Amino acid sequence: MLMTLGRTQLTVDKDGLGALPLQRASVPEAIRLIQAVVDAGVTYLDTARMYSDSEAKLGLALAGRRSSVTIATKTRALTAEGVEKDLHESLRLLQTDYIDVYQLHNPDFLPDEGHEIYQALARAQQAGKIRFIGYTNHKVHLAEAAVESGLFDTLEYPLSFLSDEREVRLTQLCAEHNVGFIAMKALAGGLITDVGLARRFMNGLENVIPIWGLQRMSEVEALIGARRQDGDRSLSEEDQANIAAEKSQLGDDFCRGCGYCLPCPADIVIFQAARTSLMIRRAPGTYWFSDEWRNEMDKIDHCIRCEACKSRCPYGLDTPELLKRNLADYRQVLSGLSK
């Protein structure tokens, strides 16, 4: 199933690859995974300069295959010099002389046309080093403003069937402005475990390409299986009922796992600890009950209530309170297991 990515006129497969998790795979494993995904027909590959060796792994895997894929990467630089430095390094590691979609990576502001980082992007575009300019963010008001500014060809934003109405309307705003919509966190950071249902939701959004974060061949096989089984099928009435039940169960007060709450002065792994109650029920595994994770959860006792995490949360969550509730529930679950 193919789609056109907004005004870029890039034709891409409706499923994309999010390369952040490739950091956690060995080089041979990552190469095998990337090539399997591309062999399955996926053509849009999204990475970032800050994803440690993700770009390098993509560069190795795509040797001799550059013309058959669309590559997107990102910079978190806040100066023209920083943008130019990041772009040079991305081109080197990706083993290419151009980037299809080059994105500003979750800035806490919207640069205007005269800002030095946007000027650096424009110069790189004129030089043929990048083809299109994109913007990524986790804050809906900045995402809306970016689309309406007319400065960006694409928007990357967290979207799943757990998203609220305003976030889903953002896809329509992109369609109205002919801006390509790239959906990160289509599985809500692991809270959604039904890949087929998540994919059918995305199929119903014609101008949206989800980038699935994959790090294991079993996950690649699950995606390929969903593609074969469902093709371009969208949500059924039963699917819609299941999604309504999921949203009702979760509510709005849950951690999406974006990680922008970090760093923590108490060394708490906030983006996992704040949703442990959900993960042990929705994606159970032995790790959540290991000594290692128990020690991580115990760090919540040493929270100094600085509330830096709360101020950074793009979803406006009361993160310290959420951590406190998760710890209490986790310990109750552990006490039940020990009986």
DSSP string, 21-63: GGGGS-HHHHHHHHHHHHHTT--EEE--TTSTTHHHHHHHHTT
pLDDT at residue 116 tops 70 = yes
pLDDT at residue 337 tops 80 = no
pLDDT computed for residue 285 by the predictor: 84
pLDDT computed for residue 250 by the predictor: 85
pTM: 0.92
pLDDT computed for residue 39 by the predictor: 97
pLDDT computed for residue 336 by the predictor: 84
Please give the Cα distance from 261 to 157 (Å, whole number): 17
Of the candidates 336, 323, 330, 223, the one whose C-alpha atom is nearest the C-alpha of residue 287 is 330
Structure tokens at 89: 């390094």
Structure tokens at 136: 């990524």
pLDDT at residue 211 tops 90 = yes
pLDDT computed for residue 252 by the predictor: 80
Cβ distance 107 to 137 under 8 Å?
A: yes
For 121-141, write each residue's pLDDT tens digit.
Answer: 999 999 999 999 999 999 999
Distance of alpha carbon 242 from the chain centroid = 23
Cβ distance 265 to 300 under 8 Å?
A: no
**Mean per-residue pLDDT over the chain, rounded:** 95
Distance of alpha carbon 68 from the chain centroid = 23
Going by C-beta distance under 8 Å and a sequence separation of 6 or more, which residues neighbour residue 16? 42, 43, 44, 45, 46, 182, 209, 210, 211, 212
Please give the Cα distance from 146 to 148 (Å, whole number): 5
pLDDT computed for residue 61 by the predictor: 98
Per-residue pLDDT band for 113 (boundaries 50, 70, 90) equals very high
pLDDT computed for residue 87 by the predictor: 98
pLDDT at residue 154 tops 80 = yes
Please give the Cα distance from 274 to 297 (Å, whole number): 9
pLDDT computed for residue 338 by the predictor: 64
Cβ distance 310 to 270 under 8 Å?
A: no
Which ranges of the chain does DSSP label H, i.e. alpha helix?
A: 27-39, 54-61, 80-94, 116-126, 140-149, 165-176, 195-203, 217-230, 237-250, 270-273, 276-282, 291-298, 308-312, 319-337
pLDDT at residue 13 tops 80 = yes
pLDDT computed for residue 172 by the predictor: 98
Structure tokens at 300: 């919540």
- Evaluate the CA torsion angle 239, 240, 243, 249 in order and state its sign: negative
pLDDT computed for residue 339 by the predictor: 60
For 238-290, write each residue's pLDDT tens digit.
Answer: 999 999 999 988 888 889 888 999 999 999 999 999 999 999 988 888 899 99
Per-residue pLDDT band for 68 (boundaries 50, 70, 90) equals very high
pLDDT at residue 31 tops 90 = yes
Question: Helix (H, G, I), strand (E, B), or coil: what is residue 223?
Answer: helix
